[in-house]
Amino acid sequence: MSRGSSTLLVMEQHTLSLSGLGRQFGSTRAVDAVNLDIAPGQFVGVIGRSGAGKSTLLRLINRLVDPTEGTIKFGAQEVTALKGRALRQWRRDCAMIFQQFNLVDRLDVLTNVLVGRLADHGLLSSLAMRFTDAERAIAIRALDRLELAPQALQRAGTLSGGQQQRVAIARALVQNPRIMLADEPIASLDPGNATRVMDALRSINRDDGITVLVNLHTLDTARAYCDRIVAMRAGRVMFDGVARQLTDDVVRDIYGSDGLAEFNEAVTSTAARAYVPA
Amino acid sequence: MTTFPLSPAVQAFEAAYAVARRRSRLIWLVSTLVFAVLFMGAALQSDFFKITQVTLADGSRAERWIIPAGLPRLGEYLYKTIPSLSWDTLGSDIAAWFWAWRTWAVLLLETILIAFMATVFGVAGGFLLSFPAARNLSPNPWVLWITRRFLEIARTVPELVWALIFVFSFGIGPMAGVMAIALHAMGALGKLYSEANENIDMRPLDGIKASGGTWAQQIRFGAVPQVLPNIISYTLLRFEINVRSSSIIGYVGAGGLGQEFRTAVSLQEYTDLSALFVIIFVTVMLIDYGSEKLRHRFIGLGLR
């Protein structure tokens, strides 16, 4: 497995700071007064029930959604003030992968990965779908790293879900990002593929030094992979700490087990192991 | 069969279901009545119940309902267009029927070329405008509004009216026909393409945007591959329609076979009319057949 290129080593390392970040949709506050500092190289898991604001939080950081209040800073750069070209370069720097992969089914896998290079392309080369040999080399190396080089010329839509998610990770990798945002990357995958995708994210974090911020809805995955766990409820951060601080009481608080006498973590698990009742 | 007492939730459902049924029956009844009244009103307004005078065989006049009165005349007209063909002199009869075939062949070629050029221009314009005219893709509401109104005007004005305007401005000839049909086709195709655009999956575009892609890149990589099969299909269909249009547009001096139609009608050359009809019918049939084959091939291909 190839290490990240040397450019990564000289890349400045900045802290991602969210302060007072909020987003209102109609009358609902999807994200409410979130303050977080994420140090470079961390592997952060964001947990919480559906609708807690996890997706919106990630989309705010990538600026797919604009905040209604608060700021995002990356080092000295104010992300929330970016526009036009600078905004697109920010999006390139914080790559995003999605629950539904968001690939173009009718394009081949290689072109889908090359989409990660578009931020550096002008209008004409984009309209002609032209990429340089060097870019193709980067893309095929990224695919090879995720064991998908043989599928490079296949249409993305013909791949399995797990393969598609790895194509999406390859696309994110060729962006040469500093941060990788993953929005429920394993929610649509079976346990085996979920493990491969999470392992790929871990390798990107450890070997390439890329900060990873991942939304998860399975607690044991969060415990297994994340240096730090942030829990959200109704748009607010309820918990911020390491896995072992996440006690049963805290979990019940986060998920607000309405009427549930007991909360069974194993029910939501996607890990590749059999559940043995106690 | 054992009957269980119905639970309150099921009883509530039964009541709600009965209400919904009554309601939908009432809506059906009222809308059928409204439709029937409107339809009869429209028929009345379009002279469907008119009484007209006819001359009977003995020379006397009588009043008849317009439809049975007109049908014999339709037959009479069509009968006049039938050429006299007989087995013994079939070759020369057909030659006499298509007596002006040299002129007609040239005009037929012109007709097809008008349709072809008009399709190229119409597709180019309609394709480019279909993205700002799609609700989900338009960069802002103003652009959406303006492109939509523009496409509406382009397609609402019939080709013949555009042709009249262009013949007036650019003179008699095929160029006016090309512009007229192209403008109308652009309006129609822009609408169809934009509806195809509105049905695409937006997630790939989100993915491209999240990678730092511009609006144009999202369209090129995310939207175009999704709509391309539809676009090819609509385009070929439009070419067929344009051949039909260009075969009549010469009626107002905009090139193609239409001018011969006009001559034949005004000089009452009935067999010329049928000859021209046969030419157009065969041409359109061949083009329909060919484009259908092509369409199916394109749909099967992995285009991007």
CA distance A122 to A11: 24
Judged on CB neighbours under 10 Å (0-12, 13-18, 19+), A95 is buried
Place of tokens 């054992």: B2
B143 plus B27 within the same structural domain: no
B221 and A129 in contact by Cβ < 8 A?
yes
Give this complex's ipTM. Answer: 0.85
Confirm whether B94 is domain-assigned: no
Q: Which two structure tokens, joined as six digits, stand for B203?
A: 């997630």
B130 plus B279 within the same structural domain: yes
Confirm whether B192 is domain-assigned: yes
- What's A272's DSSP letter? S
| Chain A residues with beta carbon closer than 8 angstroms to that of B217 | 118, 121, 126
B140 plus B249 within the same structural domain: yes
* Other residues' Cβ atoms within 10 Å of the Cβ of residue A249: 8
Confirm whether B69 is domain-assigned: no
Confirm whether B56 is domain-assigned: no
pLDDT tens-digit map of B108-127: 999 999 999 999 999 999 99
B178 plus B290 within the same structural domain: yes
A118 and B216 in contact by Cβ < 8 A?
no
Q: How far is CA B176 from CA A90, B109, B183, in A?
A: 51, 16, 11
CA distance A198 to B198: 35
B211 and A98 in contact by Cβ < 8 A?
no
Q: How many domains does chain B have?
A: 2
Nearest CB to B208; choose among A62, A105, A115: A115
B25 plus B129 within the same structural domain: no
A115 and B214 in contact by Cβ < 8 A?
no
B176 plus B294 within the same structural domain: yes
Confirm whether B71 is domain-assigned: no
B143 plus B219 within the same structural domain: yes
B129 plus B35 within the same structural domain: no
Closest C-alpha to A34, from A194, A236, A177, A196: A236
* Other residues' Cβ atoms within 10 Å of the Cβ of residue B161: 13
B9 plus B121 within the same structural domain: no
pLDDT tens-digit map of A155-203: 999 998 889 999 999 999 999 999 999 999 988 888 888 898 899 999 9
Confirm whether B91 is domain-assigned: no
Q: Domain of B196: which CATH number?
A: 1.10.3720.10
> What is the band of A3 on the pLDDT scale with cuts at 50, 70, 90?
very low
pLDDT tens-digit map of B54-68: 888 788 888 888 888
Confirm whether B58 is domain-assigned: no
In whole numbers, what is the pLDDT of chain B averaged over residues? 89
Provide the sign of the torsion angle of the four alpha carbons B192, B198, B201, B207, taken in this order: positive
B207 and A175 in contact by Cβ < 8 A?
no
To the nearest whole Å, the CA of A107 is away from the closest chain B CA by 6
> What is the extent of the structural domain holding B191?
102-298
Closest C-alpha to A56, from A32, A36, A82: A32
Contact A260, A252 (CB under 8 A): no
Chain B contact present for A119, CB below 8 A: yes
The percentage of residues in chain A with a pLDDT greater than 70, rounded to a whole number, is 88
Taking each helix axis from N to C terminus, what angle separates B141-156 and B101-130, rounded to the nearest 10 degrees?
Answer: 160
Chain B contact present for A100, CB below 8 A: yes
Place of tokens 């509530």: B12
Chain B contact present for A175, CB below 8 A: yes
Contact A60, A235 (CB under 8 A): no
| Chain B residues with beta carbon closer than 8 angstroms to that of A111 | 221, 304
Q: Which two structure tokens, joined as six digits, stand for B254?
A: 């905009």
| Chain B residues with beta carbon closer than 8 angstroms to that of A107 | 221, 225, 304
Q: Which two structure tokens, joined as six digits, stand for B83?
A: 């050429």
B291 plus B193 within the same structural domain: yes
Confirm whether B267 is domain-assigned: yes
B285 plus B186 within the same structural domain: yes
pLDDT confidence of residue B186:
96
pTM of the model: 0.80
| Chain A residues with beta carbon closer than 8 angstroms to that of B213 | 88, 115, 118-119
| Chain B residues with beta carbon closer than 8 angstroms to that of A64 | 206, 209-210
The C-alpha angle A215, A71, A62, rounded to 5 degrees, equals 40
B107 plus B194 within the same structural domain: yes
